[in-house]
Amino acid sequence: MFFQHIYDKSLAQASYFIGCQKAGVAAVIDAKRDVDTYLEIAKANNMKITHIFETHIHADFLAGSRELAKLTGAELYLSDEGGEGWEYEFPHHGLKDGAKVQLGNLTFEVLHTPGHTPESISFLLTDNPASKQPVMLFTGDFVFVGDIGRPDLLEKAAGITGSADAGALQMYNSINKFNTLADYIQVWPGHGAGSACGKALGAVPSTTVGYEKARNWAFQYADDKPGFVKYLLEDQPEPPKYFAMMKHLNKVDRPLLTEVPKLKQLSIVELKGAMAQGMKVIDARNKVDFAAGFISGSYNIQGNNAFATWAGWLLKYDEQFILLADESQLDDLTRKLMRIGLDNIYGYVSSTAVWTDAGGTLEKANVITLAEAKDLIHNNGVQVIDLRGVAEYNAGHIAKAENVFVGTLADNLEKVSKDKKVIIYCQSGDRAAIGYSILAKNGYKNVSNFSGSINEWVNAGEPVVS
């Protein structure tokens, strides 16, 4: 058996390439959208991709299954569980609980494991030449390392009222099914630490059934269904706005993007013309460089592993946008964007020089130190805004700080004063940089960015309240 784990750090998303070397055939589970990765693996190992599996209709990324099928001729094997409203709306081989799919000498058995979503399935793999006992379980968003999939996304992100409680009860029953599996079976989940599909995912890539039975919190509630449901639903992180669109696009027929797009470099005339029409500029530079000088009206989303997530909060799928990024970053950033379906890139500029060389001026962010923040906060006329998530805020924040999550800041501008001084902060400064650019874009001139944020505040021994 050939096995390769492919991990996208930007979305903390795992996919899998599994092959039968004797037959020269392979399957991919939960493919990301820039599928050249799998084509290269297949070519390097003299294999043909013939089967493509998905564990469920994903909310956090745009699956590349159909792109991969178009390029390879492989067949799609997808869940037919979940009932009305949970059907994939394009041709595929439907899978039900107990179904078996043969790939050379390998057998994939389908387990219906609802809870995260009603149609969710897991794949139990047997390597027949080695053993007649299963050796691996691919769980998607069912069981993670140290956590399980959240059932509230459908309600919070897709607006399906009542689905959170129903999903939690389904998850309880699925956990009992997992409990019957042999302890030695390896567990390969769909996500790792940093994913918004759970609240306490582990950082290691895999685990075992036995380890999760012993250490995963979910298995400690085997005889306490109400306690299980309560713990599962509380303190889950805010689901990114783009999740609802992913649920839709992963279910319906849609245009395919079979290669990474090459972006057009824009002239100053094109840049100014687009901005005059309201087109957004996403400045992917480091927050320090952005603060030192930025094009008025641009948004700062640093080109790190969280780039796609925050772009998904700020950008709409029916609007074009512009990237400001060094040319060395373009392929990486374009891949990150296409993984959540943000393909509508008008073009790019490589630096702010295109602006200043044409006589334009740059704005500077008002970034303040810890000492300056303390001095201002002691002034009762200052409004303090904590831009973190609700659970983070509740765990400990600066006294009298108000919570406005940065992902929804643009929709809650009325909560930020334009009449008094405002201090914003987050955990370590990245989200505060995003927040500052949103406020500056909307005409706020009274904002100070305490970039050191709560980390610097706590490390200096300053008090927090919870």
DSSP assignment of 82-119, as one string?
Answer: S-TT---SS--EEE-TT-EEEETTEEEEEEE--SSSTT
Distance of CA 125 to the CA centre of its chain: 27
Extract the tokens encoding 53. 């599996």
Q: Rounded to an integer, what distance in angstroms lies between the CA atom of residue 315 and that of residue 281?
A: 10
In 3D, which of 68, 111, 69, 76 has the Cα closest to residue 93? Answer: 76
Extract the tokens encoding 214. 């012993």
Per-residue pLDDT, 200: 77
Neighbours of 268 (CB within 10 A): 15
Q: What burial letters (b/e) apply to 332-369, b meaning 16+ CB within 10 Å?
A: ebbbbbbbbbbeebbbbbbebebbeeeeeeeeebbbbe
Per-residue pLDDT, 157: 66
**Main-chain phi, psi angles of 2, to 5 degrees:** -105, 135
**Angle 38-41-111 from CA coordinates, rounded to 5°:** 55
Residue with tokens 């008025």: 296
- Burial class, 96, CB count within 10 angstroms (exposed 0-12 / middle 13-18 / buried 19+): exposed
Across the beta sheet with 321-324, what order do the strands follow? Answer: 299-300, 280-283, 321-324, 345-349
Q: Rounded to an integer, what distance in angstroms lies between the CA atom of residue 121 and that of residue 55?
A: 5
pTM for this entry = 0.94
pLDDT by residue, tens only, the chain of 466 residues: 999 999 999 999 999 999 999 999 999 999 999 999 999 999 999 999 999 999 999 999 999 999 999 999 999 999 999 999 899 999 999 999 999 999 999 999 999 999 999 999 999 999 999 999 999 999 999 999 999 999 887 777 666 767 888 999 999 999 999 999 999 999 999 999 888 777 778 889 999 999 999 999 999 997 899 999 999 999 888 888 999 999 999 999 999 999 999 999 999 999 999 999 999 999 999 999 999 999 999 999 999 999 999 999 999 999 999 999 999 999 999 999 999 999 999 999 999 999 999 999 999 999 999 999 999 998 878 999 999 999 999 999 999 999 999 999 999 999 999 999 999 999 999 999 999 999 999 999 999 999 999 999 999 999 999 9
Q: Rounded to an integer, what distance in angstroms lies between the CA atom of residue 298 and that of residue 51?
A: 43
Q: Which residues pair with 130 in a beta bridge?
A: none
Q: Rounded to an integer, what distance in angstroms lies between the CA atom of residue 403 and that of residue 389?
A: 8
Q: List, for residues 360-376, the tens digit of each pLDDT value.
A: 999 999 999 999 999 99
Strand 25-29, strand 13-20: pairing: antiparallel
* For the chain, counts of helices (H) and of strands (E): 16, 21
Q: Rounded to an integer, what distance in angstroms lies between the CA atom of residue 300 and that of residue 436?
A: 8
In 3D, which of 140, 240, 116 has the Cα closest to residue 192? Answer: 140
End-to-end CA distance of the chain: 52
Q: Rounded to an integer, what distance in angstroms lies between the CA atom of residue 452 and that of residue 462?
A: 13
Domains defined along the chain, listed by start: 2-249 (3.60.15.10), 268-356 (3.40.250.10), 367-459 (3.40.250.10)
Ordered DSSP codes for 139-204: EETSB-SS-B--S-HHHHTT--TTHHHHHHHHHHHHHHHHTTS-TT-EEEESB-TT-TT-SS--SS
Residue 366 half-sphere exposure toward CB, CA atoms < 13 A: 13
In 3D, which of 215, 227, 191, 206 has the Cα closest to residue 135? Answer: 206
**Angle 131-5-152 from CA coordinates, rounded to 5°:** 100
**Residue 237: CB partners within 8 Å, gap ≥ 6?**
196, 199, 389, 391
Give, as one character, the DSSP assignment of residue 362: -
Residue with tokens 């200043």: 356
In 3D, which of 164, 234, 230, 227 has the Cα closest to residue 199? Answer: 234
**Amino acid present at 323:** L
**Main-chain phi, psi angles of 385, to 5 degrees:** -115, 120
24 and 47 in contact (C-beta within 8 Å)? yes
Q: Rounded to an integer, what distance in angstroms lies between the CA atom of residue 131 and that of residue 127?
A: 6
Per-residue pLDDT, 201: 86
Extract the tokens encoding 223. 């005889």
139 and 187 in contact (C-beta within 8 Å)? yes
Q: Which residues pair with 48 in a beta bridge?
A: 25
Residue with tokens 């370590």: 428
